[in-house]
Amino acid sequence: MKVMILKNFIVFEGIDGAGTSTQIKKLVERGNSCCEDRFVATAEPTTGETGRFLRRMLGGEFSVDEKTNAYLFAADRCEHIFGKDGVKELCDSGKIVVSDRYFFSSMAYQSVSCGDELPKLLNSTFPLPEILFYFEINPEISLGRVNARGESKEIYETIEKQKAIAAQYEKVISEYEKTAGETGIKIVRINAADTIENISEEIWKIINN
């Protein structure tokens, strides 16, 4: 089955504390000051019903089997992309939509404990973004940033889990890199240990290329 590219859709991925949220904020602010509010920031888990349920799970309020999480993240994603006022609608109307996380997160995070197969199966029909920025960073550094925020920790935010998720991300991203010639996705690896300013300049240049 041929997976389609969703034009105008840009995704940022990386382990917790890699800095994707900071960069999306900067990109969208800069983009909107120059290009008449053409940019829209969004994120997964979403702020919708399923996303809010997932946030409670991430906060440790309750737990479910990791396979159940794979289904829940995919359901939240379906609404995010195809729901009313969703990503597809916005991209089709000419907006540039920038999402903090997408199905690559499910393939990295959920696969660590439930295996590759289910996350792949559940996410194989979602469209690919035009550009994927993958933020690479040593998990010790990124987890240090998460800890410095002083917020309560979410369930995946331990060094053992972050190391396993980083390894799984590497596997997933390199698979997509191998087939990029056929699918048409553009994958950009970002050195997330670099300064905020350098990274945002790099991203800006790539988007305006």
Closest to ligand TYD by CB, 93 vs 168, is 168
| 44 scored as a contact of ligand TYD (CB under 6 A) | yes
Distance CA 19, CA 38 (A): 23
Segment contacting ligand TYD by CB under 6 A, of 28-36, 89-97, 104-112, 137-145: 104-112
Instruction: Report the side by side order of strands in the sheet with 39-43.
Output: 39-43, 96-100, 5-14, 128-136, 186-191
Positions 138 through 197 that interact with ligand TYD (CB under 6 A): 154, 156
Distance CA 192, CA 115 (A): 27
Question: Least distance from C-beta 13 to ligand TYD, angstroms?
Answer: 9
Identify whether the C-beta of residue 100 lies closer than 8 Å to the C-beta of residue 10.
no
Identify whether the C-beta of residue 75 lies closer than 8 Å to the C-beta of residue 123.
no
> What is the rounded radius of gyration, in angstroms, for the C-alpha atoms of the chain?
16
Question: Least distance from C-beta 195 to ligand TYD, angstroms?
Answer: 20
Residue nearest to ligand TYD according to CB distances in the complex = 109
Q: Which residues bind ligand TYD (CB under 6 A)?
A: 16, 21, 44-45, 58, 73, 100-101, 105-106, 109-110, 154, 156
